[in-house]
Structure formats: C-alpha cells, structure tokens
C-alpha cells in the first residue's frame, strides 16, 4: 500500500472510551463502545434531573429541546445545516416517515426504487407503508449496481442505504441523487453506516431526505435513537404522517386537530426517551475537535493495512468488500464458508467482529479507538484461527439468537 496511506495522522482518543481488557473491537459498525463520561452524565441526569426536578425537567433541564439540540450536533457531522435534523424513535420509524413524506411529494407516481443491498428493515417498512397505500404501489428492488440506471419516470422515490451492511460497498451519493432528481424522483438516503464513519455532504448532495442511527459509529449506546433530515426548502411542506403530539405546532394547546409545527420539529412523534437521549448527547462529546476528513484518512489506512495483511496471511478468506477504498465505507468484509464458526472462535480470543449470513465475516474500522497495532494483533489471531482450523470446534457452530 502507498506510504501516504500508512502515515495518515492518528486521531485515536482511546482514553475517552471504556474498552475491555484483552479485546480488540472491530464491531463499532454494529454497536459503538461506551464513551467513559456517559455513565456519570446519565447517572446525574437521573438523580439531579428526573429525581430532583421531576416533571419540571422538561423545561428546567432542557429535555423538551433535546431532540432538536441533538439533531443539530449530528447535523454538523453529516453536512446538514442547523434546524434540519431531528432525533427520535428508531431508524425503522424514521425510514417510514421519510418514505411517506417522499411519496406525498409525488402523488402521481407509484414506484419506490431500492436495492438488494439495503438493510432489510428499510424494505420491510416500505412494504408495510405501500400495503396501506394500495395495490397500485410497487416496491422495486434491483441489484445495487443497477440502482442508478433503474430510475425511470414512474419512480416516486429512490430509497437507498449509502453503505451496504454486508460488504461495505458505498454508493455514489451525489451521482445517484442527481440521477433521481433528473428523473423527477425524490431521494432518501439511509446513513446508518455513514454518520460518524466518514464525511457526508448532505446539503451538497441535494437529497430531499436522509435518516440514520446513532448506535454504530456515533457510540450512542444500544438502541440509541435515530435521526431524520429534511432538506430546508421542504421543512415546512413535508408531511410527517406519523403525526404525534410533539410535532404539533402547539402541543400543549391539546387541540383535537393536528397542525404540524413549522420546520423539522414536525418530524417529532411521541415523548422522547430522555435517559437514552442523554447518553447519546454525552457520547457525541467525543467528536469535539475531531475533523471527519482525518477520521476517514485514518480509517482508510487501517482498512488498507487489514486487507493487505489478511490477504498475505489468511489465504482461506476472499475479500467481499470493494478493493477501492473510495467505493467502500468504514468496514471490510471477507467471505469464508465457515465464517460463523470462525467469528465465534475469534470473539472467544478477544477479536470482536461479526457475521452476516450466509458467509460474511465483517470487521469495522473506527480510528477514534483503534490503531495500527490493534489491526496487527487482530490479524495475528485471525491467522491462527484459520491456520489451525480452530473454528472446527463444535461449540462455535451453535447459533445464538442475535448473530
């Protein structure tokens, strides 16, 4: 690999994270680790705010404004202006909301275009929505490489996840958005594997909607809330569809009729989970003073090192990710027929990645808490597991509920 890649500046700030002894964590693309200060902050929120302020915390402790405040902080990491991102609910819910709003903008069209590399829940939620809308609506799922070419004049919305959760293959966000809009379709990006992984230029892309989650590269904790972005010119137009009381223009007037709030606030639904939101708010502090371009450069260096070392030392594995780093997110996947068992053997030896059916071993690269020495150590273990066929042990073949 080029020396310039090997020498990308370090952005490692391991001291900010709780990292278990003896573990090399290559699964931050699934669940980020605990930022150390989150525990104390969340405890203080419970004792000093919930405990002492009780109901008064909604105003006095800023709980009511928290979802928008968090949206603005996430916006800075994904190229979205202030007031265009709202945090809440789960990614499945936010996908539903974005797609319903997109379809309302194109009432004369009936096709939602997506690809088979999308995360299944996006497709499931879309199907549920289209079933309500009626038989003439269609979810058209094509291969990822065919997505851009499949945007015909009947397509109301293009709904894609930028980075494929299995292979790490990355779509051309600007190019596909342009193609969608030239065909008169609305563009929705799912940034689940993008936010916090590399620079995203949402505003520059011109896409109408984006959604994402905060428990992967943003380290918000298991089940941390999702976010939704609405392009500024649509903020007062987009239909919330899931029109909960906190998206009302005057929630405490308790009108019987719904009247959406101006701007991104209309994408709020019900009462936000304040404890979980507070954990996320504190977790976002690890990004203070971090340049996403430097995170990306460091991640590419780690990935290039990993690919080169694995290909040199583990001939049993086949690269499943794009070789060109520009075409890849912040993960590297290899195919191996016994990938499930091999991953269990790795995990037992402290190298935590994960497995995606049918045969993908997935490794995430998160330079805030991973460095080149970690990568070297991980490949050492991987080489041993494969060379000595440690995955043959029957105990590694029993499937767990969550894989």
Q: Which of 17, 25, 96, 119 is catalytic?
A: 119
From 178, 188, 197, 201, select the one nearest 228 (Cα to Cα).
188
Q: Which stretch, 121-129, 148-156, 204-212, 306-314, contacts a second copy (CB under 8 A)?
A: 121-129
Q: How far is the CB of 22 from a second copy (least distance, A)?
A: 11
Tokens describing residue 171: 């779509």
Clarify whether 309 is annotated catalytic: no
Q: Looking at beta carbons only, is 242 or 327 nearer to a second copy? A: 242
The reply to whether 4 sits in an annotated binding site is: no
The reply to whether 393 sits in an annotated binding site is: no
| Interface residue with a second copy, options 2, 3, 108, 132 (CB under 8 A) | 132
SS3 sequence of the chain: CCHHHHCCCCCCCHHHEECCCCCEECCCCCCCCEECHHHHHHHHHHHHHHHHHHHHHHHHCCCCCHHHHHHHHHHHHCCCCCCCEEEECCHHHHHHHHHHHHHHHCCCCCEEEEECCCCHHHHHHHHHHHHHHCCCCEEEEECHHHCHHHCCCCEEEEEEECECCCCCEECCHHHHHHHHHHCCCEEEEECCCCCCCCCCCHHHHCCCEEEEECCCCCCCCCCCCEEEEECHHHCCCCCCCCCCHHHECCHHHCCCCCCECCHHHHHCCCCCCHHHHHHHHHHHHHHCCCCHHHHHHHHHHHHHHHHHHHHHHCCCCEECCCCCHHHECCEEEEECCCHHHHHHHHHHCCEECEEECCCEEEEECCCCCCCHHHHHHHHHHHHHHHHCCHHHCHHHCCCCCCC
Q: How far is the CB of 86 from a second copy (least distance, A)?
A: 14
Q: How far is the CB of 52 from a second copy (least distance, A)?
A: 5
The reply to whether 154 sits in an annotated binding site is: no
Clarify whether 397 is annotated catalytic: no
Per-residue contact string for residues 281-320; x = within reach of a second copy by CB under 8 A: ----------------------------------------
| Interface residue with a second copy, options 123, 295, 300, 320 (CB under 8 A) | 123
Q: Looking at beta carbons only, is 364 or 367 nearer to a second copy? A: 364
Clarify whether 17 is annotated catalytic: no
Tokens describing residue 142: 């094509």
The reply to whether 84 sits in an annotated binding site is: no
Q: Looking at beta carbons only, is 249 or 337 nearer to a second copy? A: 249
Sorted by sequence, the CB contacts under 8 Å of residue 289 that are 6+ apart come out as none
The reply to whether 119 sits in an annotated binding site is: yes
Q: How far is the CB of 228 from a second copy (least distance, A)?
A: 13
| Interface residue with a second copy, options 215, 306, 334, 336 (CB under 8 A) | 215
Sorted by sequence, the CB contacts under 8 Å of residue 238 that are 6+ apart come out as 101, 104, 105, 209, 230, 266, 267
Q: Which of 73, 109, 216, 349 is catalytic?
A: 216
- 68-97: contacts with a second copy (CB under 8 A): 89-93, 96
Q: Looking at beta carbons only, is 291 or 377 nearer to a second copy? A: 377
- Residue 125 touches a second copy, criterion: CB under 8 A: yes
Q: How far is the CB of 140 from a second copy (least distance, A)?
A: 12
Q: How far is the CB of 104 from a second copy (least distance, A)?
A: 9
Q: Which of 215, 355, 363, 369 is catalytic?
A: 215
| Interface residue with a second copy, options 63, 217, 336, 363 (CB under 8 A) | 63
| Interface residue with a second copy, options 101, 111, 113, 129 (CB under 8 A) | 129
Q: Which stretch, 123-131, 183-191, 318-326, 371-379, contacts a second copy (CB under 8 A)?
A: 123-131
- 353-382: contacts with a second copy (CB under 8 A): 354, 356-357
Q: Looking at beta carbons only, is 40 or 291 nearer to a second copy? A: 40
Per DSSP (E only), the strands in 155-270 are 155-161, 186-190, 209-213, 226-230
- 220-279: contacts with a second copy (CB under 8 A): 221-226, 240-245, 248, 252-258, 269-277, 279
Residue 159: helix, strand or coil by DSSP? Answer: strand
| Interface residue with a second copy, options 55, 135, 153, 395 (CB under 8 A) | 55
Catalytic annotation, residues: 119, 190, 215-216, 362
């Amino acid at each position: 690999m080029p020396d310039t890649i090997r020498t990308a500046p370090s952005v490692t700030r391991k001291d900010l994270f709780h990292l278990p002894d003896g573990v090399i964590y290559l699964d931050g693309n699934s669940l980020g680790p605990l930022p150390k200060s989150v525990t104390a902050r969340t405890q203080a929120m419970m004792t000093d705010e919930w405990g002492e302020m009780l109901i008064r915390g909604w105003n006095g402790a800023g709980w009511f404004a928290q979802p928008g405040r968090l949206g603005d902080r996430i916006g800075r990491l994904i190229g979205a202006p202030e007031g265009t991102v709202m945090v809440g609910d789960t990614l499945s819910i936010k996908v539903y909301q974005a797609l319903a709003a997109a379809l309302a903008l194109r009432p004369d069209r009936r096709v939602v275009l997506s690809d088979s590399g999308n995360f299944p829940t996006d497709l499931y939620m879309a199907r549920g929505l289209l079933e309500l809308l009626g038989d003439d609506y269609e979810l058209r799922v094509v291969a990822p490489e065919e997505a851009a070419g499949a945007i015909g004049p009947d397509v109301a919305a293009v709904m894609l996840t930028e980075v494929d959760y299995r292979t790490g293959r990355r779509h051309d966000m600007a190019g596909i958005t342009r193609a969608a809009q030239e065909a008169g379709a609305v563009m929705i990006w799912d940034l689940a594997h993008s936010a916090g992984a590399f620079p995203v230029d949402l505003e520059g892309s011109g896409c109408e909607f984006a959604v994402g989650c905060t428990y992967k590269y943003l380290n918000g904790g298991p089940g941390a809330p999702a976010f939704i972005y609405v392009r500024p010119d649509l903020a007062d137009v987009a239909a919330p569809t899931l029109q909960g009381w906190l998206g009302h223009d005057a929630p405490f007037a308790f009108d019987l009729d719904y009247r959406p709030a101006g701007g991104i606030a209309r994408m709020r639904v019900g009462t936000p989970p304040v404890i979980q939101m507070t954990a996320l708010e504190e977790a976002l502090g690890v990004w203070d003073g971090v340049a996403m371009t430097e995170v990306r450069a460091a991640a590419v260096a780690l990935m290039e090192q990993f690919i080169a070392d694995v290909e040199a030392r583990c001939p049993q594995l086949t690269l499943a990710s794009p070789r060109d780093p520009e075409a890849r997110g912040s993960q590297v996947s290899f195919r191996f027929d016994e990938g499930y068992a091999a991953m269990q053997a790795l995990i037992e030896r402290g190298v935590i990645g994960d497995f995606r059916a049918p045969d993908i071993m997935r490794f995430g690269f998160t330079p805030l808490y991973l460095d080149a020495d970690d990568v070297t150590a991980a490949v050492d273990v991987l080489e041993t597991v494969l060379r000595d066929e440690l995955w043959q042990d029957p105990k590694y073949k029993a499937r767990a509920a969550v894989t």
